[in-house]
Amino acid sequence: MTPPKAQRFEAARAVLAVVALLPRISRPRTALLAATSVLTAAFPLATGIATGLLIGAVPGAADAGPGSPQARDAYLLLAAGVAALLLGRLVDNVHRANARNLGRDLELLLQDRLVAAVARPTGIAHLEDDDVLALLRIARQLGTDFIRPERAVQGLAGIVPEFLAAAGAAIVLSFFNIWLGLAWLVAWPAVFLAMQAEYTRVGKTAYLRSTEMRETEYVRDLAITAGPAKEIRVWGLMGWLLDRYDRTWAERMAQSDRFQRIRVRTAVAVIGTLLALTAATTLALAQAGLAGMVGFGALAVYIVALQGMFSFSAFDDQAAFVSFGSLPVPKVLALDAQLTAGERAATAELPAEAPVRAVRFEGVAFAYPGADRPVFAGLDLDIEAGTSLAIVGHNGAGKTSLVKLLAGLYEPTGGKITVDGTDIAGVDPAAWRTRLSALFQDFTRYQLTVRDNIALGAPHLAADTDRIWKACEPMGIRALIESLPDGLETLLSSEYEGGTDLSGGQWQRIALARALFAVQAGAKILILDEPAAALDVRAEAELYEQFLDITAGLTTIVISHRFSTVRRADRIVVLDGGRVVEDGSHDRLMALGGRYAEAFSLQAARLAR
Ligand SMILES: Nc1ncnc2c1ncn2[C@@H]1O[C@H](COP(=O)(O)OP(=O)(O)OP(=O)(O)O)[C@@H](O)[C@H]1O
């Protein structure tokens, strides 16, 4: 467990991070909050002093009678006390409302920062990073009852004036006894820091142990989402899932509970200190009063000051949320900085028509982050522009990884990928991707309309219905779409009223139409990863006839385990162990009699049977 001192610094850094963000939201509102913090402390103190002095002045005024200077002074004190009381109430309301609004805007700012930070990297490696995912879980809960930086702002807005008021009261008391005043002045910050260290510890165990909770929530979500519902019911997994959810939840909560209590020794030290100081001050005041060493009025002021001391509460919800609500803030800011730092500025440009010569993998090495074995350790591959290339190889050979690298979703750990001689590492990824159209094995079934599902290949052309139909026709889905209740505007999800779902093959055709739509928008390289996996054999054959026409002149890369698809490509490469082991046309590879020929013959014989 982290030592208390480090926790204190962590909490202090977190609170400072919150304070530093406020002027970025609004300088005037932050300045107002600072001003009202002082005034919210000053007015009650002024009310207390005026009340004490009034108590002291009343006997003299009563003796001197109405109209006397003493009576006038007493009325003035009364007016000052009432004015301070009313102004205090007014300022307090403005102060609280301002703090609440600033707090809400802080949560909005943090949400925006997180989403922007996560969206900024052009690759996807960070979305498989445990630390980033743990933070994203916090981000999703920002603003819910659980994670409230807003309440840190409110807590600070409450605590600061209270502390100033208590410090003012301690200064007033120091006129009675300098040591007692000083003791109070030191005691409150000490109590506050001790309690904040406790709240920090509790806060960290409560919501910064995000990874474990992610697993638990994943099991819960399996039980309540539509995707896995079929398997879970068919295999009768519901009981198993719920048991596991209950068990892991209980384990995690028990773990948290152990740390989620304020430690007894802290509670004893805090309460003991405050009781001892209160007893000492009360006794000293009583003795001085009885001995006639302090006047009646002064005694009243000191007693009011002692009472005002307890307007500062270092151990309630408000105090707890100062650190509790601040803790995630530096983490969010650090993620923003961390993910931004990883980004490189573009140093090269590609002509609009690239590639016109070749895409080249030159000694490319790559390992997934955290993986102990590389997928590629020196891959060389030339892909001639304007030709079709098929990539085959056994499961896990690296086919999808190769196209993910080409799409810039991951960066090679060694070597380079060039387009007409330009290293794509230096090219703006967004600009590079406008040249690519890619359909991945696990393509996304967007719960959006048919039109959107196709137009997402080039969203700026979404309104161009003619082009959308043009992308649909080769896929043979025009009739299907026209038969849907709202045609192109039909929502493709049975989770919404009026929506509908499609078969696996129909979805694949929609996704292929999306890839073709991107080609129409100007993509020069078409990547298809298992494009026909969900199609029947005849549909696949028809599709490829169409495809060859449409994609003539494009640089096309197809990954497939179906050799009837593969054989149509201009060139075929066989990947194994992260290297190209066979390379050539279908006829050449068949003549070679190697792995390709063996696998092809096996599949052909099976189909023939
Ligand atoms: N996101 C990932 N994180 C870590 N390792 C991964 C990831 N994706 C793939 N791998 C690993 O990288 C290797 C290559 O995977 P890849 O998906 O490129 O294979 P593939 O040739 O496309 O296989 P398949 O034919 O089964 O689709 C495999 O060993 C796989 O376990």
Q: DSSP code of 305?
A: H
Ligand 1 atom closest to the CA of 575, numbered from 1: 21
CA of 558 to the centre of ligand 1 (A): 16
CA dist., res. 502 & res. 484, Å (int): 10
With a 6 Å cutoff on the Cβ, whether 578 touches ligand 1 is no
> Which range among 133-142, 164-173, 498-507 shows the weakest confidence by mean pLDDT?
133-142
**Cα-to-centroid distance, 433 and ligand 1 (Å):** 22
Ligand 1 centre distance from Cα of residue 429 (Å): 22
φ and ψ at residue 301, rounded to 5 degrees: -60, -45
Q: Which residue is closest in CA terms to ligand 1's atom 26?
A: 395
| Nearest residue by C-alpha to atom 25 in ligand 1 | 395
CATH numeric code, 353-435+524-609: 3.40.50.300
The protein residue whose alpha carbon is closest to atom 13 in ligand 1 is 396
Does the beta carbon of 446 sit less than 6 angstroms from any atom of ligand 1?
Answer: no
Q: What is the per-residue pLDDT for 343?
A: 67
Going from the Cα of 587 to the center of ligand 1, the distance in angstroms, rounded, reads 29
- Residue whose C-alpha is closest to residue 207's, from 252, 156, 162: 252
pLDDT band, very low/low/confident/very high, at 258 (cuts 50, 70, 90): low
Whether the pLDDT of residue 89 is over 80: the answer is yes
* Ligand 1 within 6 A of CB of 52: no
Which residue's C-alpha comes closest to atom 24 of ligand 1? 395
Task: Tell which wins on pLDDT, 349 or 383.
Answer: 383
Higher pLDDT, 537 or 189: 189
pLDDT score, position 2: 44
* Whole-number pLDDT of residue 5: 54
DSSP 213-282: HHHHHHHHHHHH-STTHHHHHHTT-HHHHHHHHHHHHHHHHHHHHHHSS--HHHHHHHHHHHHHHHHHHH
CA angle 396, 398, 401 (to 5 degrees): 120
Fold of 11-341: ABC transporter transmembrane region fold (1.20.1560)
- How many helices (H) and strands (E) the chain has is answered by 23, 10
The Å distance, Cα 400 to ligand 1 centre, comes to 7
pLDDT at 524 over 80: yes
Average pLDDT over residues 259-263: 71
Q: What is the dihedral of CA 200, 204, 207, 211, to 10 degrees?
A: 170
pLDDT per residue as tens digits for the range 462-472 = 888 999 999 99
What value does the mean pLDDT of the chain take?
Answer: 86
- Residue 126 DSSP symbol: G
Residue 377, SS3?
A: strand
- List Cβ neighbours of 364 (8 Å cut-off, separation of 6 or more): 376, 378, 379, 380, 405, 412, 414, 415, 416, 417
What is the distance, to the nearest Å, from the Cα of residue 284 to the centroid of all Cα atoms in its chain?
55
Looking at ligand 1, which residue's alpha carbon is closest to its atom 27? 395
- Contact call for residues 151 and 100 (beta carbons, < 8 A): no
Cα 306 to Cα 48, 174, 192: the distances in Å are 10, 11, 18
What is the structure's pLDDT at 334? 81
Judge if the beta carbon of residue 393 lies within 6 A of ligand 1. yes
Who contacts 282 (Cβ-Cβ below 8 Å, separation ≥6)? 306
Structural domain boundaries in the chain:
11-341, 353-435+524-609, 445-522
Answer whether 562 contacts ligand 1 (Cβ < 6 A).
Answer: no
**201 burial level (CB within 10 Å; 0-12, 13-18, 19+):** buried
Q: Is 398 in the pocket of ligand 1 (CB under 6 A)?
A: yes
Cα separation of 159 and 241, whole Å?
Answer: 45
* Cα 132 to averaged position of ligand 1 atoms, centre (Å): 21
Mean pLDDT over 369-386 rounds to 91
Whether the CB of 577 sits within 6 Å of ligand 1: no
Is the beta carbon of 369 within 6 A of some atom in ligand 1? no
Tokens at 53, concatenated: 């002095």
Structure-model confidence comparison of residues 257 and 295, the more confident one: 295
CATH superfamily of 445-522: P-loop containing nucleotide triphosphate hydrolases (3.40.50.300)
Write down the residue that tokens 């997934």 correspond to: 368
Q: Can you tell me which atom of ligand 1 is nearest the CA of 441?
A: 27
What is the rounded distance in angstroms from the CA atom of residue 228 to the CA atom of residue 356? 44
* pLDDT score of 429: 84
pLDDT tier for residue 57 given thresholds of 50, 70 and 90: confident
* Ligand 1 near 528 CB (within 6 A): no
Pocket test for ligand 1, best of 366, 392, 400 (most atoms within 8 A of CB): 400
Bridge partners, 527 (sequence order): 438, 557
Intrachain domains 11-341 and 445-522 with the same fold: no
Mean pLDDT, residues 312-331: 82
R_g (Cα) of the chain, nearest Å = 36
For the stretch 333-363, pLDDT in tens is 888 777 776 667 777 888 878 889 999 999 9
Look at ligand 1, atom 18, and give the residue with the nearest C-alpha.
398
What is the CA(257)–ligand 1 centre distance, in A? Answer: 40
Asked whether 395 lines ligand 1 (CB < 6 A), one says yes
The pLDDT assigned to 404 comes to 93
Whole-number Å distance between alpha carbons of 243 and 219: 10
Q: How confident is the model at residue 3 (pLDDT cuts 50, 70, 90)?
A: very low
Higher pLDDT, 432 or 134: 432
- For residues 368 and 362, is the Cβ–Cβ distance under 8 A? no
Q: In the structure, what pLDDT confidence band is assigned to residue 474 with cuts at 50, 70 and 90?
A: confident
Residue 401 Cβ < 6 Å to ligand 1: yes
Q: What are phi and psi of 294, to 5 degrees?
A: -125, 140
Closest C-alpha residue for ligand 1 atom 2: 368
Window from 126-135, 331-340, 400-409, 540-549 with minimum mean pLDDT: 540-549
pLDDT the model gives residue 260: 65
- What is the pTM (predicted TM-score) of this model? 0.75
The first and second tokens of residue 254, run together, are 């028990």
Q: Specify the amino acid at residue 516.
A: L
Instruction: pLDDT band for 259, please (50, 70, 90 cuts).
Output: low
Whole-number Å distance, alpha carbon 402 to ligand 1 midpoint, is 10
Q: What is the DSSP letter of 147?
A: B
- Which residue's alpha carbon is at the smallest distance from atom 6 of ligand 1? 368
Assembly ipTM: 0.97
Q: From CA 138, how far away is CA 149, in angstroms rounded?
A: 11
- pLDDT tier for residue 1 given thresholds of 50, 70 and 90: very low
374 C-alpha to ligand 1 centroid (Å): 11
Tokens of 333: 């800011």
Percent above pLDDT 90 for the chain? 35
**Could you tell me the two tokens for 570?**
């201009």
Distance in Å, CA 443 to ligand 1 centroid: 16
pLDDT (0 to 100) of residue 20: 95
Residue whose CA lies nearest to ligand 1 atom number 30: 396
| Predicted local confidence at residue 342, as pLDDT | 64
Atom of ligand 1 lying closest to residue 393 CA: 21
Q: Tell me if 396 CB under 6 Å of ligand 1.
A: yes
| 128 CB within 6 A, ligand 1 | yes
The 10s digit of each residue's pLDDT in 182-208 is 999 999 888 888 888 888 877 777 655
